[in-house]
Amino acid sequence: MTPRFSLQARVVALSACAAFVTSAWSVGALAQTNAVGASETTGQQLSAGDEEFVQNAGEAGATEIAASRLALKQSQNAQVRQFAQRMIQDHTRLAHDLSAVAARKGVTVEPQPDGQLIGKLKTLKGKTFDQAYVEQVALEGHEQAVQLFQDESHGGTDPDLKNAAAKALPTIEHHLEMAKQLTAATVKGSS
């Protein structure tokens, strides 16, 4: 059960990363498309690894959004709710951008949240929910997202996607720092 749980946290992290990568990538890709011409950037094939990155990032983003929406309903902690609202805003924007970028590369992204993780979070309330959300979604998810985006920025094959991953890293790293602060605040507050 623990390995599956880590995979779920990874999915959440990936979504965070994907959202940020697509945001950064779409800005650069739009500028490049306008300068070079749409026909040269539309429909380019991605490698299997790059396509997997896009898919994983999309699923992670959908999971982040769904879990954060639950946090707005099930948490009584103002800091958790504020963090969740920020994640919904950032990841919704980034998911939209990722879908647009993926479409230009010939990849259809229709991500669904991790149903097992969301199902587990739905059963929790109050401080128990806060602890699970902060540890599994905010902290572990963003740790894994940082790693995912670092891997893509260094090892991806599509130059636009690599550049987008590199540009997204500071935002994802900022989310991770926010998650660490939230973890310290919620652990301190629950003891």
- How far apart CA 188 and CA 184 sit, in angstroms, is 6
Taking each helix axis as running N to C, give the angle between helix 48-74 and helix 78-104, from 0 to 180 degrees, rounded to the nearest 10: 150
Closest-CA residue to 66 (of 107, 8, 23)? 8
Q: Which residues contact 3 (CB under 8 A, 6 or more apart)?
A: none
Homologous superfamily of 2-185: Ferritin, core subunit, four-helix bundle (1.20.1260.10)
Q: What is the pLDDT of residue 9?
A: 44
pTM value surpassing 0.85: no
Q: What is the pLDDT of residue 69?
A: 97
Cα 181 to chain centroid distance, Å, stands at 18
Q: What is the pLDDT of residue 127?
A: 93
Q: What is the pLDDT of residue 17?
A: 45
Q: What is the pLDDT of residue 190?
A: 55
Per-residue pLDDT for the chain (191 aa), expressed as one digit of tens each? 334 434 444 444 444 444 444 443 333 333 333 333 333 344 568 899 998 988 888 888 898 999 999 999 999 999 999 999 999 998 887 777 777 777 778 888 788 999 999 999 999 999 999 999 999 999 998 898 889 889 989 999 988 788 777 877 888 899 999 999 999 988 665 54
Question: pLDDT digits over 78-111, tens only?
Answer: 999 999 999 999 888 777 777 777 777 888 878 8
Q: What is the pLDDT of residue 135?
A: 95
